[in-house]
Amino acid sequence: MENEKKQNPKQNSVDENEFPNSKVLLVSVKRTRRFLERTARELLAGGTRYIILSGLGDALPLCVQLQSSLQSKNAAVVVKIETSYSYFNSNYSYTPGLKIYMEKHPDFKGSRISPGYVSFHEKTEDFTPIYDESPNEYMCAVNAGDNNLYVGGEGINGAFAELLSSHGQEVDRYESLFKELLNKAVKENSEKPEEEVKSVLYDNVDKKYGDVKLALCRIRNSLKKGNDYTTGSVFIVTFKKNYPHKKEKNMGMVYVVGPKGKNFNTVEDFLEAVHDTAENLMTALCDYNGLVKREEIKHVRMNTCRICLFSGSLYKHPNASKLDVAKSILNGLAVGYRHGPSPRLNFTYDENVFKDAWVETTGLQVFNHNDKE
């Protein structure tokens, strides 16, 4: 794209003036149509108004196929088509070129999260299990935590405590671990603007906390109350031993401190805080997998994260519905989503609100848990 801008500064100036808030998608036969379509939809879902499909030579048929697919699915509509011939000195020949200018369809919803990365549990007689008894891949589960940073009490936090304790973990020690890690995160990030905040690791955590192999924390400065940075904070711990159901693939817990409705004057402010917490959750998940990929830590990739409806029950704002909370979580996750490092997202069942929220906000395909993609 940079080369195209250097070679055609006048043309790019025209494009930017005529089509503000546009992105050029270079179409190449080295990429599949599925990949290109997903990229286009992610750009549109992220706020881009115009997609300019640009291809040369043997990529022209793929460019037209991509345009047809986006248009047939009401993702974008064609507003302009340009053809050209470019002369290349290397082979002394002209190569045909094509630019298709497409504007986001008014009915487009979509999501930056690929539908294949999202699945939903169906209703069962009991609650959705925190972990699978026979997991097929490495997974973590979200625990809806508390500002006091303990594991225990009521709801899913109590269920985590019961399950982990039954497998020999010292759950009472998580509170001190989280408080130590939070203090480190605040010390390193409290003065930074949101976009510069980094996840922090607890060095040699297993020497003090024997059940834990890795501990990571990411704070959300915008949600702090005075000197309290707990709201919106996310902690990822991977287990060193005493795995749930004795399965190593049940690799860890993601402790999320969601906002409490009683602390917000308006339902809008509460839902915005839920959104920001979910964005921070996704960023922390991507940070963890990014560290693994870059081999900065010697750990396994988190393939799936099971997400519950935090801030959606006891701590919900009285004027917010569970569906409102689910929508805010999904939208926040989408903002923080990065396709490469993101794990797949598996949502627990809670009055079907996650699935309903996904369909209403994106209009995209739904996969149930254990569906084959």
Residue 123 has what DSSP assignment? P
Nearest partner of 331 among 53, 47, 91, judged by Cα: 47
For residue 96, the SS3 value is strand
Q: For residues 295-317, give the mean pLDDT.
A: 94
Whole-number pLDDT of residue 73: 86
Q: Using CA atoms in the order 103, 111, 114, 33, what is the torsion angle rounded to 10 degrees? A: 0
* Residue 285 to residue 269: CA distance in whole angstroms: 24
**121 or 89: which leads in pLDDT:** 121
For residue 192, the SS3 value is coil
Q: For residues 25-42, give the mean pLDDT.
A: 91
Whole-number pLDDT of residue 12: 52
- Residue 1: is its pLDDT beyond 70? no
Amino acid at 33: R
pLDDT digits (tens, 9 = 90+) for 185-233: 999 999 999 989 999 999 999 999 999 999 999 999 999 999 999 999 9
- Residue 238: is its pLDDT beyond 80? yes
Whole-number pLDDT of residue 26: 95
- The dihedrals phi and psi of 211, each to the nearest 5 degrees, come to -80, -15
- The dihedrals phi and psi of 177, each to the nearest 5 degrees, come to -60, -50
**15 or 329: which leads in pLDDT:** 329
* Residue 285 to residue 308: CA distance in whole angstroms: 15
Share of the chain above pLDDT 90, in %: 74
Whole-number pLDDT of residue 358: 94
Whole-number pLDDT of residue 133: 96
**pTM confidence score:** 0.81
pLDDT digits (tens, 9 = 90+) for 258-274: 999 999 999 999 999 99
pLDDT digits (tens, 9 = 90+) for 115-169: 888 999 998 888 899 999 999 999 999 999 999 999 999 999 999 999 999 999 9
Whole-number pLDDT of residue 339: 82
**Structural domains of the chain sorted by starting position, each given as residue range(s) with its CATH number in brackets:** 2-104 (3.30.110.20), 115-362 (3.40.220.10)
Whole-number pLDDT of residue 91: 63
- Residue 82: is its pLDDT beyond 60? yes
Using 50, 70 and 90 to split pLDDT, how confident is the model at 11?
Answer: low
Whole-number pLDDT of residue 175: 98
Whole-number pLDDT of residue 42: 83
Q: For residues 36-58, give the mean pLDDT.
A: 89
CA 13 remoteness from chain centre: 34
For residue 82, the SS3 value is strand
